[in-house]
Amino acid sequence: MLHAFFRSTLPVLPLLLVLPPVNASSCAMGNRTTEIRVKYENILSHDINELVNMSAEDRDKCCRNKKNGNIKVFFCNDTEEIESLQSMACNMLRFYKKQRISKALREKAAFVSCGTLQVLQCKCRTKKEKVCPDVFRIEDTETSEQSKKKCNQEVCELKENISSLRSCWNKFEKLISR
């Protein structure tokens, strides 16, 4: 009888050893919620608000038209706020080199993304954060030169990501303030 049990479970054991945990994060969270909240409130929240204001100034007709269903929407998952913030920040870094988005908006979005990853002590799975040292050296000297294309889907997607990031940070702040 015991022999039949091992024969039926043995093929599953190697599989259990190979599969990583579903919610594995590449963030060094530890017991740092107070430190994270202080850094967010004192530094990052100001930059996020500036970024939100910059993206609001960049009015794009296509973004108001909700028929564009190609935009990837990020959600701040309950109990997985850190992983959600990490995912949003890493996704925003992919816009850093997109020429159809104003340089000022791209640089501010990258600055906020890198700041988020730094505060949370996270890394991106695809090593997108390797641009962060360059981003932190950017001088604030440029005026916004907007691409004159008719419809810019990348701007819409970045604006959606910015909004999601701010909402998730607000949710996380309320959660850790309790």
- The reported pLDDT for the residue numbered 62 is 60
- What's the pLDDT tens digit per position in 76-87? 887 788 899 999
Reported as a pLDDT band with limits 50, 70 and 90, residue 177 is confident
Q: Which two tokens stand for residue 79?
A: 């109990």
Domains of the chain by residue range: 33-58+75-136+153-177
Statement: residue 66 has pLDDT above 60? no
Q: What is the pTM of this model?
A: 0.73
3-state SS string over 73-123?
CCCCCCCCHHHHHHHHHHHHHCCCCCCCCCHHHHHHHHHHHHHHHHHHCEC
- What's the pLDDT tens digit per position in 11-36? 444 433 333 333 345 687 667 788 88
